[in-house]
């Protein structure tokens, strides 16, 4: 865990500019110039893990984690561990699940057991396993006559060992799921080394992603809660950039606003 807040870029934001090693070299230099000294790996074209680490470090951008699909864990856990070591990272997140395959209590408990197994194997290698949420995880299972039930994300974390699975809360998706980012940060305290920062605004009567500080989330409230929860890494991501139509500009606006809020 970092001793002071680390503000990182999520490379998925720049996926259209990371297709070849030559693209990656150029993009990493731009990421550094914008003001990010760290980044989380995702959305990168074919490249050897050690080569990617070298390109990033040469640009002054430290890898602080990665997103790796659950099928890779299932099919080649040894390979995932090897990539993490070659990237030089201590965190790896499962970024997405097919909601249609986990719609029952038994499925979520089975998934939790599976994640405990992955996390235990990773912990032996000094790597922390995380789960990155979207919106469907806030649906409630077991609602009767319009009341009660338990959210899927609660089922996952209640049935996994904190030693083997951390949350990587995506706070934009938390808000989109009609949940309180602050409340969820508090709920995941001491199990939340890293968070994803996204903001929401409105364009033509539709919700759209915005740069951090340009939407409706109270970020000073969130940052205060994160500090109390023990969070060290704040990872900026936009799935799309409909306001700027330029992911580099969106990342720059987010970085400027976060700094103005006093986070780092």
pLDDT in tens, 91-144: 999 999 999 999 889 999 999 999 999 999 999 999 999 999 999 999 999 999
* Residue 112 located in a structural domain: yes
Domain that includes residue 43, residue range: 6-260
Beta-carbon count within 10 A of 157 CB = 20
Q: How many CA atoms lie within 13 A of 7 on its CB side?
A: 21
C-alpha torsion angle, residues 159, 163, 165, 167 (rounded to 10) = 100
Q: Does 80 fall in a domain?
A: yes
Identify the residue whose tokens are 């499962």. Answer: 94
Report if residue 179 sits inside a domain: yes
Containing H/E element for 41? strand 38-41
Instruction: Tally DSSP H helices, then E strands, for the chain.
Output: 10, 12
Q: For residue 168, is it within any domain?
A: yes
CA atoms of 254 and 97, how far apart (whole Å): 27
How many residues are given for the chain? 264
The count of structural domains within the chain is 1
Residue 206 has pLDDT above 80, yes or no: yes
Its pTM surpasses 0.95 = yes
Describe the strand order of the beta sheet including 233-236 as a list of residue ranges.
166-168, 128-132, 91-94, 62-67, 38-41, 6-10, 233-236, 194-197
Q: For the chain, give the percent of residues with pLDDT over 70.
A: 100
Instruction: Retrieve residue 23's tokens.
Output: 């693209």
Identify the pLDDT of residue 264: 82
- Quick one: pLDDT at residue 103? 87
The reported pLDDT for the residue numbered 70 is 98
Where residue 199 falls among pLDDT bands split at 50, 70, 90? very high
Q: Using only C-alpha atoms, what is the Rg of the chain?
A: 18
Name the residue with tokens 């986070």. 263
Q: What is the pLDDT of residues 72-93, one digit of tens each?
A: 999 999 999 999 999 999 999 9
Mean pLDDT of 175-181: 98
CATH of the domain at 198: 3.20.20.150
Q: What are phi and psi of 160, to 5 degrees?
A: -125, 155
Please report which helix (H) or strand (E) contains residue 234, including its range.
strand 233-236
pLDDT attached to residue 20? 98
Has residue 1 been placed in a domain?
Answer: no
Residue 50 lies in a domain: yes
Residue 10 inside a domain? The answer is: yes
123 domain residue, yes or no? yes
Nearest residue to 88 via CA among 66, 67, 119, 118? 66
């Amino acid at each position: 865990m970092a001793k002071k807040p680390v503000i990182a870029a999520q490379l998925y934001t720049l996926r259209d500019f990371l297709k070849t090693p030559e693209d990656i070299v150029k993009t990493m230099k731009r990421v550094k110039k914008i003001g990010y000294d760290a980044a989380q790996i995702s959305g990168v074209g074919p490249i050897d893990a050690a080569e990617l680490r070298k390109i990033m470090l040469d640009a002054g951008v430290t890898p602080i984690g990665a997103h790796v699909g659950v099928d890779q864990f299932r099919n080649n856990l040894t390979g995932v561990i090897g990539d993490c070591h070659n990237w030089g990272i201590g965190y790896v997140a499962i970024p997405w699940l097919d909601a249609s395959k986990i719609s029952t209590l038994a499925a979520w408990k089975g998934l939790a057991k599976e994640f405990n197994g992955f996390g235990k194997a990773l912990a032996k290698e000094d790597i922390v396993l995380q789960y990155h949420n979207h919106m469907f995880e806030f649906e409630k299972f077991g609602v009767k006559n319009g009341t009660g039930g338990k959210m899927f994300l609660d089922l996952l974390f209640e049935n996994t060992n904190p030693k083997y699975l951390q949350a990587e809360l995506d706070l934009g998706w938390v808000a989109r799921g009609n949940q309180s980012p602050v409340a969820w940060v508090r709920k995941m305290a001491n199990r939340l080394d890293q968070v994803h920062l996204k903001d929401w605004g409105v364009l033509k009567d539709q919700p759209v992603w915005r740069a951090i500080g340009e939407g409706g989330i109270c970020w000073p409230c969130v940052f205060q809660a994160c500090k109390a929860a023990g969070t060290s890494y704040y990872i900026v991501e936009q799935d799309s950039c409909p306001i700027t139509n330029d992911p580099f500009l969106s990342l720059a606006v987010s970085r400027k606003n976060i700094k103005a809020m006093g986070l780092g």
